[in-house]
Amino acid sequence: SHQTCKPEKANKNPWVHVREMTIGCWTSFISKDNAEVHILNLNYVATTDTIFHLNMTSARPMHLVLTSLDTAYSLLNINPDVHIHMKNHSKIVIHGNEHNNNVHTQDFPTQGEELVKWASQKFGGVTSFTTIQNLKSISWTGTSGSKPGSHSCVLKNEDPFEKHFLKIEAGTWASIKSCTPQPENLSAGELHIINIPENANVRNISIRMEKHDKTSMFLRGPQGTTWNFLNLQHTTFASNNIILLPPMSQDSSQLTVRPFLTSNNDSAMSVQKAALTHFKASTFTSYTELSPEDSMVLLVLGKMEKPAVTVTVPEPVTPITTTAPHQMPLMMQLYTSPDYRSPLDPNTKVQSDKRIYAEISGHTIGNIVLTIKVISCTVHSKGSCPVVQELPFIPEACSLNSCPNSTRLSFSLDQIQELTSTTWDLECAVKFCYSEKCGDGGRVKRNLEVTQPCLQPPTQPCFDFGLPGVLCIAFGGFLIGVLLIGALWFIKIKTGYPTGLDISSTAANLPGCPCSGAKRQPVSTNPSPSENSSANASIGSTQSTPTSSMA
């Protein structure tokens, strides 16, 4: 029994990768100032996604001529040695705030041979001419962009993905359906079926084999289709169309193989059964059905973990109707609270211990919403001895509806409290992003007046005793009082006198003390008459008191 499968529309085919054969050239030309000259010609077919990322940060010194017949927008990353040349009133809008002086506009032709002639007269020659359809991203790898051989740029059909100095990501304009029987049975070798419907416009199909295993191919297309093998790699084939094989030597020409089967039925089941019958197989490896819009297509056969071309179905976006400037003006507004309702006046001084909230915004490219991403922030002091410090920041959450083409962040100025300068420039580096592709957005600057916070005089610590503390202190005072009273009582019992009071010494010195128990001092026996009378009075007085006390 024959095993078949029903094809479905797929964004990625693990076996067959569709590329466009476009007009271009690749030479060995290097200008006198040791710079390469590259021409990039863009076409956008059956898509509204016309934003592409141009990354040339690793590129060698060069002049890049950009041209397009369709409106397109570019997120640009370049280094100082790259110069961009564009036609006046070009339909390509470059978006990036870095090295804007390296973007030059002038009048020049936009079509093939005329453009090559103009560039050759202006720069002395052309290193490469590359045409790409539905470009999404292109970057220069940093390797040499020249190719050994002729200096002359002769335009012909080529595969732009062969140019090793370029890394290209592009969408496909072809409608692709594919399927693979499960499980795959590769014991007898691989069998791949390519079917082009009768109503397709394509007529010239180039095939590159990137597999070294034994492979069989069944190729079916409308009458007048030509299949051109760029290499064979142990391939057997069958087709209802003309097949061109690569020349056996440099001096020989291509070999032409006439069709040796008839197949006018383009239905998937019919083509699959015809292939299995022709190769006497019970199953096949893959079935691919494609309807390209262009007349020249390149098919790359070989199972890859990461296909060379990322085939995507473009998402619908809002049509672009306005023209944006080449440089997006940026603005930074400061706020004092996280609700972003109270803008900070540029002349208002900010205390260094307060948290500052910032919003960075810019104009749009047409009606397309870009995402602004803050990379870093620094503060620069103004004065005779400028100081530059990195400023840590925290991104603040903000919905797309609240922050279209803007971003929010917050930061603290604690680290500049100890510095003497009060006038600073706050500067943040940003990138613009669209569909996970980012380009340089340049820098946005804002002046900042900073004051030191008012220092309060130090106050004595105030101890706050609670109820348990008060009770403990009161109870401790009570115990101390009891112990002291007990100690005094004990001393009184042992001595008979109050502690700390010497009766005998005190009574002797205090006349008329009634409590004195000391012995009376002897009195002279021969006092003078005056002394005697006074003494007797004194003695009588002292004797009467103890007597009455005794009574």
Residue 317 pLDDT greater than 60, yes or no: no
315 band by pLDDT with thresholds 50, 70 and 90: very low
At residue 100, the pLDDT reads: 77
Helix (H, G, I), strand (E, B) or coil at 484: helix
Q: How far apart are CA 549 and CA 44, in angstroms?
A: 138
Q: For the residues 436-456, what does the mean pLDDT come to? A: 73
What contacts 301, CB < 8 A, 6 or more positions away?
A: 15, 16, 17, 192, 207, 208, 209, 210, 211, 215, 217
Q: How far apart are CA 356 and CA 350, in angstroms?
A: 8
Q: How far apart are CA 355 and CA 351, in angstroms?
A: 9
At residue 532, the pLDDT reads: 45
Helices (H) and strands (E) in the chain, counts: 5, 33
List the structure tokens of 399. 């919905």
352 or 419, higher pLDDT: 352
268 or 466, higher pLDDT: 268
Q: Is residue 87 a contact partner of residue 103, using CB atoms and an 8 Å limit?
A: no
Residue type, 502: D
Q: How far apart are CA 27 and CA 166, in angstroms?
A: 15
What contacts 447, CB < 8 A, 6 or more positions away?
A: 346, 423, 424, 425, 426
Find the range with the poorest average confidence among 30-39, 57-66, 317-326, 438-447: 317-326
Which secondary structure element, helix H or strand E, spans residue 485, and what is its range? Answer: helix 467-495
27 band by pLDDT with thresholds 50, 70 and 90: very high
Residue 325 pLDDT greater than 80, yes or no: no
At residue 232, the pLDDT reads: 74
At residue 36, the pLDDT reads: 96
Residue 363 pLDDT greater than 80, yes or no: no
- Residue-wise pLDDT for 367-394, tens only, equals 566 788 898 998 888 776 778 888 889 9
At residue 128, the pLDDT reads: 96
216, exposed or middle or buried, with CB in 10 Å at 0-12, 13-18, 19+? Answer: buried
25 band by pLDDT with thresholds 50, 70 and 90: very high
> Which of 78-92, 178-192, 406-420 holds the top average pLDDT?
78-92
- β-strand partners of 42: 68, 132
